[in-house]
Each structure stands twice: as C-alpha cells, then as structure tokens.
Amino acid sequence: MIVVNFKTYKEATGYRAIELARICKKIQDETKVRVVVVPQLADLRDCVETGVDCWVQHIDAVDQGKNTGYVTRESVEEVGAKGTLLNHSEHKVTDEALTQILKETETLAFETCVCAADATEAQKWNAFKPNFILYEPPELVGSPDKSVSTEKPEIIDAVVKAVTQPVLVGAGVKNIEDVKVAVKLGAKGVGLASGFVLATDPESMLRELVSTFNRS
C-alpha cells in the first residue's frame, strides 16, 4: 500500500492533481498494489472522479452545522473520500479532538490513518484502533536526502512491535531501498509526498516503488 500526500504543492494543485491521481489509479489497476491519493480539499471531487481511492489531509472534531471554516467527516465522505490522515506533523491536533474523531469513526467504513512521531505516540493511538498508523519522524518530513528508512530503522521496528494496527512508514521515502527496509521491518506500506509530487517523472518513480511490493 502506498499513500500519496499532495499537501499544498502547486505541482499537485488543480489539473495537475487530476493528472497525478490518474497516474496513481493506472498503476494501481496494473499492479493491484493499493495506492491512496490525499489531495487538497478543492481538488477532492475531481480526484475521486478518476476512480482512485482518496483520503483527505484532515478533518475536524465538529458536527455539521454552525462551524464555519471547519471540515466535517460527513462533507468529505459525501464527496467520495474513503478516509483521512490525522495528526500530521504539519497539522497537529489536540488529544481531545483526535480521541473524539477516532471514537466516532471506530465502527464506520471511513478509514483513519493517524500520524505518529515515535513508538510512544504510535502505541498511545493504537488503543483507539485507527485503520492505519503512519510513523513519520517530523525532522525527516520533506527531507531531500535523508529518509526514515535510512535514519530511523530501529524506530520503524519499535513501532511495528508496539502496535497491533497496520503500520505505514513515511518521511523522506523516495526509492526502492527505502521501501525494502520498511517492508522488511514489518510495515504494510509507505507514505509519499515530495518524492512523488516533485519527481521529474512521477509515473516512473511510483511504478518503481510499487514493483518492490510485487517482488517482496
């Protein structure tokens, strides 16, 4: 499984978001490796229409009603989002808000992927049974030359052993070796962002990473 976070990169905005989503859908169909796209809210409907699985980058712990400026689960689910990232290092939420969201979605088909900075945080949120835990050390998020697999393999191992939910690994992941290390240590997949979005040839880059799963 590969989760591709578009963040707010201009290279993944508007028609470019649709193009990247189509690439992800194409590669998923050809390889049967699940690829989830996480676009900006403005591009969600268009990305959903490509047929690829879409999550959103965040939802708020609020009900539908008088909550101007917030993002409700119901609104994105109605558009077609299948889940959400939560607690990304670039968009941390309070423990109270995260607990509320996880409790409310526990019995729903709407998927939750909680980002954790270390094994302690991963174990804490594992108790609420999110669908996935994404281990991303904040200091390596967006790194052009370092990855979680090369810099923190022992923490990947610790996170996998500390939780019962499926673990994804992200932060600087950009090549086959990064994926190999993560999978060997027990991760079920990886998270990408700049490595894919800013690649000279995003399709070739993603196809190469996906081939690692097919060989493993």
CATH code of domain 2-211 = 3.20.20.70
Q: Cα dihedral sign for 108, 113, 117, 118?
A: positive
Check 88, 104, 151, 208 and give the catalytic one: 88
Q: What tens digit of pLDDT does each residue of 6-27 get?
A: 999 999 999 999 999 999 999 9
Of 3, 5, 56, residue with least CA distance to 34:
3
Q: Tokens 């995260």 appear where? A: 98
Q: What tens digit of pLDDT does each residue of 184-204 get?
A: 889 999 999 988 999 999 999
Let me know if 136 is a catalytic residue. yes
Q: What tens digit of pLDDT does each residue of 142-170 get?
A: 656 666 777 667 888 888 999 999 999 98
What residues contact 27, with CB distance under 8 A and at least 6 apart?
A: 33, 35, 203, 206, 207, 210
Percentage of the chain beyond pLDDT 70 is: 93
- Domains of the chain, residue spans: 2-211
Check 91, 96, 111, 136 and give the catalytic one: 136
CA separation for the pair 57, 216 (Å, rounded): 29
